[in-house]
Amino acid sequence: MEERSVALTQNNDCAEFRLDGKAAVITGAGSGIGRAIALKFAHHGSVVRIVDVDENQAEATACEIRKVGGTASVHRCDVIQQAEVVSAFQRIATQGRIDILVNNAGISHIGNVETTSEVDFDRVMRVNVKGYYNCIHAAIGHMKSNGGVILNMASIAGSAGLAERFAYSTSKGAVIAMTYSVARDYVPYKIRCNCISPARVHTPFVDDYLRKNYPGREHEMYANLAKTQPVGRMGEPDEVASLALFLCSDAASFITGVDYPIDGGFINLHG
What is the reported pLDDT for 84?
97
Q: In the chain, what are the domains?
A: 2-199+238-258 (3.40.50.720), 201-234 (no CATH)
Nearest to 80 by CA among 132, 45, 7: 132
Contact between 240 and 36 under an 8 Å Cβ cutoff? The reply is yes
On whether the CB atoms of residues 167 and 173 are closer than 8 A, the answer is no
Tens digit of pLDDT for each residue in 24-72?
Answer: 999 999 999 999 999 999 999 999 999 999 999 999 999 999 999 999 9
Report the pLDDT value the prediction gives residue 14, as an integer from 0 to 100.
65
Q: Which residues are catalytic?
A: 168
Neighbour-count burial for 182-207, b at 16+ CB within 10 Å, e otherwise: bbeebeeeebbbbbbbbbbbbbeebe
Taking alpha carbons only, the member of 34, 160, 170, 177 closest to residue 112 is 170
Ranges under pLDDT 70 in the chain: 1-14, 270-271
